Structure 1
């Protein structure tokens, strides 16, 4: 995450920070479940942005990685608690667990020494996480494709005169937000 070229790193920082900012705006939704999900996604977006800052600009102190692991460990426990009522929290659980895994991997290996012990190939956990998030990105991308023959109710998704849906409550924007974070997670896992 901190050892690659600067340009792709900055693109990843921008993608994750913009996603986190949009998720903060989604927290203003009148729907409680949407606010709760948006809060967790904002934490993920900003956490991913912070982890993706190129090392040439800023190398975090050694104590930062255990702090990341602790913050995302707490978020994973919260997602685990929420998974008992909503299956979508399982995805949040895997995302926060992946963040804990990456933080611990960065804490365990100093910069530029990721493969110093002759460890060739992709570790099993990294590979499993890559497969999951690559599949998630593909499925999320398919879900964003427009459905032909769908009847829309105008700008904002108002159907049958029920009023317009605020831009922060539009499901396709929330899906695009999750897709962006999935892409960011794949990029971060590839550089691990």
Structure 2
């Protein structure tokens, strides 16, 4: 990621914390939470590593094909999972966006990431529109309809769906940020 170093470190922290929480969700007693948590943890940690400022660490050339393979496999898994459950298509779009960014980073020299010259590429623009809409919708869904949360809810904090939605929202914000800096 190329941009302000302080913003990059904030993105690393946000995505890393999100990935860690998603790992904790793998131990959830709720099957739906466990099913989505692994892919979301991969996405959080992958985004955190990709967001490390280039001034601190420049990945070797072989890292980008590895990113492409890992997130390509995650995209295929998301495609398989989404066969009958359309709401899983978001995981497919997220994995595909990671593949797109890895390919873009692999194909351009470091200096080229700072100057686009011809405006925003079509795929980047489409992904920005998608993730911006996702962030707005996910943020609106976090607002409780009743105005207060039920403090007597016996669910463990790792099983709370609103925390999972907040993690997805934070990864969506991270994705918008990363796409803007491409």
Q: For structure 2, list consecutive stretches of 5 or more residues without a partner in the other structure.
A: none
Of 124, 127, 148, the match for 2:125: 127
CA distance 1:149–1:119, shift in 2 (3 Å): closer
TM-score calculated relative to the size of structure 1: 0.90
The farther-off stretch of 105-114 and 71-80 is: 105-114
The farther-off stretch of 181-190 and 83-92 is: 83-92
Deviation at 1:140, TM superposition (A): 0.5
Tell me the equivalent position of 1:136. 134
Whether 2:169 is the aligned partner of 1:179: answer yes
User: Which whole-Å deviations, capped at 9, do the CAs of 1:26-65 have from their partners, x for residues lacking one?
Assistant: 1111222211201100000000000000011100001100
Q: For structure 1, list consecutive stretches of 5 or more residues without a partner in the other structure.
A: 158-163
Structure possessing the higher radius of gyration over alpha carbons:
1
Whether 2:104 is the aligned partner of 1:114: answer no
Tell me the equivalent position of 2:151. 154
Tell me the equivalent position of 1:28. 27
Deviation at 1:120, TM superposition (A): 1.3
TM-score calculated relative to the size of structure 2: 0.95
Tell me the equivalent position of 1:84. 83
CA distance 1:115–1:138, shift in 2 (3 Å): same
Tell me the number of residue pairs that the alignment of Structure 1 and Structure 2 aligns: 182
Moved over 4 A (4+): none
